[in-house]
Amino acid sequence: MRMRDCEIRPFENCIRKVKYTNKIASQDFKPSGRFPIVSQEEAFISGYWDNPEDVFHIDGPVVIFGDHSRHIKYVDFDFVIGADGVKILAPVEDIVTKYLYYYLKSQPIQSLGYSRHYKVLKEKYVPVPSLSEQQRIVGELDLLSRVIELKNAQLRTLEDLSSAIFHEMFGDILSNEKMWETSTIGNEFKIYSGGTPDTKQPAYWENGNISWIGSNLCQNLVLYHNDGKFITEEGLSHSSAKVFSENFVLVALVGATIGKSALLRFKTTTNQNVAGIDVPSNEHYTSEFVYMMMRSLYPLFMNVSNGKFKMANLSFVRSLPIIKPPLSLQENFSERFSAIQRQKSNVEKSIVVAENLLASRMDKYFNE
In this structure, which CATH number among 3.40.50.300, 3.30.1370.60, 3.90.220.20, 3.40.190.10 belongs to the domain 181-324? Answer: 3.90.220.20
pLDDT at 159: 85
What pLDDT sits at residue 167?
96
Nearest alpha carbon to residue 23 among 42, 44, 10, 39: 39
> What's the predicted TM-score (pTM) here?
0.64
Instruction: Say what the pLDDT of residue 96 is.
Output: 98
The answer to whether the CB of 232 falls within 8 A of the CB of 210 is yes
Question: Cα dist. 59→13, 75, 76, 91 in Å?
Answer: 20, 11, 9, 12
278: pLDDT strictly greater than 60: yes
**Is the model's pLDDT at 306 over the cut of 70?**
no
Distances (CA, A) of 194 to 200, 231, 272: 18, 13, 4
153 by DSSP, 3-state: which? helix
Average pLDDT, the chain: 94
Give residue-wise pLDDT tens across range 38-71.
Answer: 999 999 999 999 999 999 999 999 999 999 999 9
Span 65-86, pLDDT tens digits = 999 999 999 999 999 999 889 9
**Per-residue pLDDT tens over the stretch 337-346:** 999 999 999 9
Predicted local distance difference test score (pLDDT) of residue 305: 62
d(CA 258, CA 311): 7
**Is it the case that residue 310 has pLDDT exceeding 80?**
no
* pLDDT beyond 90 at 114: no
| Residue 4 confidence (pLDDT) above 80 | no
Note the pLDDT of residue 309.
Answer: 63
Does 172 sit behind a cis peptide bond, omega within 30 degrees of 0 on the bond before it? no
pLDDT of residue 252: 96
**pLDDT average, residue stretch 274-287:** 96
For residue 308, pLDDT beyond 70: no
Domain 7-128, second-level architecture = Alpha-Beta Complex (3.90)
- For 125-149, write each residue's pLDDT tens digit: 999 999 999 999 999 999 999 999 9
Amino acid at 332: N
* pLDDT over threshold 60, residue 234: yes
* Apex 229 CA angle, 228 and 234, nearest 5: 145
Radius of gyration of the chain from its Cα atoms, rounded to whole angstroms: 22
Is the pLDDT at 1 greater than 60? The verdict is no
pLDDT tens track for 24-40: 999 999 999 999 999 99
- At residue 282 the predicted structure's pLDDT band, cuts being 50, 70 and 90, is very high
More confident: 195 or 115: 195
Whether the predicted pLDDT of 307 surpasses 80: no
Structural element, H or E, at residue 323: strand 321-323
- When pLDDT is cut at 50, 70 and 90, the band that residue 209 belongs to is very high
